[in-house]
Each structure stands twice: as C-alpha cells, then as structure tokens.
Chains A and B, each alone.
Chain A
Amino acid sequence: DGGITQSPKYLFRKEGQNVTLSCEQNLNHDAMYWYRQDPGQGLRLIYYSQIVNDFQKGDIAEGYSVSREKKESFPLTVTSAQKNPTAFYLCASARTGSTGELFFGEGSRLTVL
C-alpha cells in the first residue's frame, strides 16, 4: 500500500539529547514536510523540501534539522537547542506541480523528560 510511515510512534528522551524522527513515503512525491502540532496552535511548519538535496526552513525551524538525501526519506532531528521539544510531529508529502494536497503520516509523539 502506498503511504507515509513515521517512526517511532511514541518516543521518550531526556533533556539535552538529540532525537531523530523518521519519515518515509512510497508515493513518489517530490515534496515533503514536517509540522509540529500543539493544542490551540494548529500545525506549524518546521521544514519542507521540494526536491532531493534541497530543503527550506519553515516558521519554527530553530532547534531542528533535516536532510533529504533520498526522495523517499525526510528525517527530522530535534536537537538539544529546541527549547520546548515535547510535541506531536507530523510528516506529510505532496506532488509538486499539482494542487498541493498533502498526505499525512500517523505522527510521532515526542516527550522530553
């Protein structure tokens, strides 16, 4: 089945540790996105990538890093510099040059203790 797979679903980390969230898609989509969802704040764009080996900062990129070495993969690293990392993280993808409709993964909930 085509889709987007995020892992892990739940993750606990101690303060000061970096953590990497995985996002893989087999939809052959060019564009991929990372959002953070917090209650009352909707989905806020962290990073997005329109093609391999290229990505752009979103509105809240500070304390996060990404890479796009393969079309299918867009991992997000939450670094120790992120001041409030506990959140629900959503990965999405879309075909570029189309309507831009996003397809979402199931999300990863990160809790920093």
Chain B
Amino acid sequence: AQSVSQHNHHVILSEAASLELGCNYSYGGTVNLFWYVQYPGQHLQLLLKYFSGDPLVKGIKGFEAEFIKSKFSFNLRKPSVQWSDTAEYFCAVNGDNDMRFGAGTRLTVKP
C-alpha cells in the first residue's frame, strides 16, 4: 500500500518568512498529489493538486508545490507567510482511488 510522509510535525515562523513543507510518498505507479489545509476549527480544504504536466503547480493563497518524480516528493512552498496561514497542512496521494494522507504539519505564524 502507498504511504505518505511529512517531515515536519510543527513549524513556527515569523510573518514574511518563507515556508517549505516536505512531503514524500511511496507508490509504484502513477499518482495524483494534493495538499489540503485545515484552519483552526474548520474543515479540510484543497490548496492545490498535481495530475500531470508542469511539475510546479500553483494553488490558492500564494501557495505552490513542486513534484519531483525522482525523489517521490511534493513539497509545499510559500515565499512569504502571513499570520492567517496558521493551520495544519496535509499532503495526500491518490494512486488507485485509495487516497492516503500524511500525518500533517502544524504551521504557526507569529505576527
């Protein structure tokens, strides 16, 4: 079965700092890759997704992610974080309609 690893459990940044959250997966076939965000007290919402084509995908709120096939990675980035980005971020991989999630990374942005 496929698995997803997120390297950081909790990241604390100051406003305007750059963000990179790691995500690696293990799966032998073609995958679709996702990043979801869960703001405090709210439900999961989709940030961005990759299916094919340009490995650099842009999502909402200034987030982007790069798919590096050789490294089985799909890291999330944002050049300058805001206090409102405080949330939990989940990487997810869908290989054969069996979507699996990483353990999540909690991001705290200090004003």
Binding site for B on A (CB under 8 A): 31, 33, 35, 40-45, 48, 50, 56, 58-59, 90, 92, 94, 96, 99-102, 104, 106-107
Within the complex, the shortest CB–CB distance from A76 to chain B, in Å, comes to 16
Q: List chain B residues, Cβ under 8 A from A90.
A: 44
Number of A-B contacts defined by CB within 8 Å: 56
B residues near A (Cβ < 8 Å) are 1, 6, 9, 32, 34, 43-44, 46, 49, 51, 90, 92, 94, 97-104
Q: Contact at B97–A48, with CB atoms within 8 Å? A: yes
Specify which chain A residues have a CB less than 8 angstroms from the CB of B6 in the assembled complex.
42
C-alpha gap A40/B79 in the complex (Å): 26
Contact present for A45 and B99 (CB under 8 Å): yes
B-chain residues with CB within 8 Å of residue A42 when the two chains form the complex:
6, 90, 101-104
A43 to B6, CA, bound (A): 12
